[in-house]
Structure 1
Amino acid sequence: MKHTDFPHKQGLYDPQFEKDACGMGFVAHIKGKPSHEIVSSALTMLANMEHRGGQGSEPNSGDGAGIMLQIPHSFFLAEAAKLGFELPEAGHYGAGMLFLSHDPDVRAAHEGQLASIIAEEGQTLLGFRDVPTHDDMLGKSAKAAKPYVRQVFIGRGEGIKDDLSFERKLYVIRRRAELAIRYSGKPEATASTYRVCPAVRLYTRAC
């Protein structure tokens, strides 16, 4: 996995003036009822906003786009069962997306650091899951930067009394893990090889 960051300050260029210009849209049922129609409409909206996305010289490499949606608890239950671990009831665990190195040793080291931090924060590591990905449509540069995508499942500790406290604890775990791995001095232990990003609307968020 390769990550390209802003250039350092030089001459008249200063990266602090770089700004995102993302296009965003929202499709939802006013009463929160999930449906396939919402997903289909969101994909149509995404296609109509192609002009807001950055592209390189390759037509199939860009700065990324996608939709965020609720992943059913029942889906997670079934996937966890296939992998040999159990999930508690909805609301008592968190799920997070991990963008990791393709090197198995580096990946194992980073996951080990994350596991230690989860335990130190009084929460329970339930398991990991490889996320299926399809890169047939990716351009050469996009494939070179593609991470190894995993999900982590974290059980709610006994001392956590409410959802907000659990959300806060998951945020602490995420930030501690990012900083610990970035400054560990181990090979590839940089922000470019370890990322935690939203899944089920979370940066490691309760499900």
Structure 2
Amino acid sequence: MTLAAEIEHLQQKGLYVTANEHDACGVGFVAHIKGEKRHDIVTQALKILENIDHRGAVGADKLMGDGAGILIQIPDALYREEMAKQGVTLPPAGEYGVGMIFLPKEHASRLACEQEMERAIKAEGQVLLGWR
């Protein structure tokens, strides 16, 4: 399908495909229609997460976490303040990203993982601004 044909199809039919109905298992969505950042939106998202019975891997072991969580906007003011303590000046909001990485507690292993992450970031043509 050409790009023009795909765009026309999406304009006529939208993004919803009934054949993919099973793909949205355990998904909730809360947002402010105008993009306003509000704490009650996070509270509502956590309530959704709490009430979703099936979040993909939850059936494997009900006593273990399944890695489910919420996706929020980057709290720019928080990161700006924290990184300034390390002498790092962040680019304007929207021009940097944040990664959450679970690192080993053991010092040597942690350093090895950080070095590998830094190598991968550089290989992708990105710049590591710092660690928090």
Is residue 2:87 matched to residue 1:84? yes
Let me know the Cα RMSD of the aligned residues.
2.5
Distance 1:29-1:110 versus aligned 2 partners, 3 A rule: same
Distance 1:108-1:127 versus aligned 2 partners, 3 A rule: same
The correspondence of residues 1-207 of structure 1 with structure 2, limited to 5 A, is: 22-49=25-52, 51-53=53-55, 54=58, 56=61, 58=63, 61-129=64-132
- Counterpart CA distance in 1 for 2:68 and 2:122 is 34
- Counterpart CA distance in 1 for 2:110 and 2:43 is 35
* Mapped contact 2:80–2:90 kept (Cα < 8 A): yes
Higher strand share: 1
SS in 2 for 1:96: coil
Higher helix share: 2
TM value normalised by structure 2 = 0.66
- Counterpart CA distance in 2 for 1:57 and 1:34 is 33
- Residue of structure 1 equivalent to 2:17: none
Considering Cα pairs closer than 8 Å and 6+ residues apart, tell me whether 1 or 2 has the greater RCO: 1
- Residue of structure 1 equivalent to 2:7: none
Greater Rg over alpha carbons, structure: 2
Unaligned runs of 5+ in 1: 1-18, 130-207
TM value normalised by structure 1 = 0.45
Identity score, percent: 49
Unaligned runs of 5+ in 2: 1-21
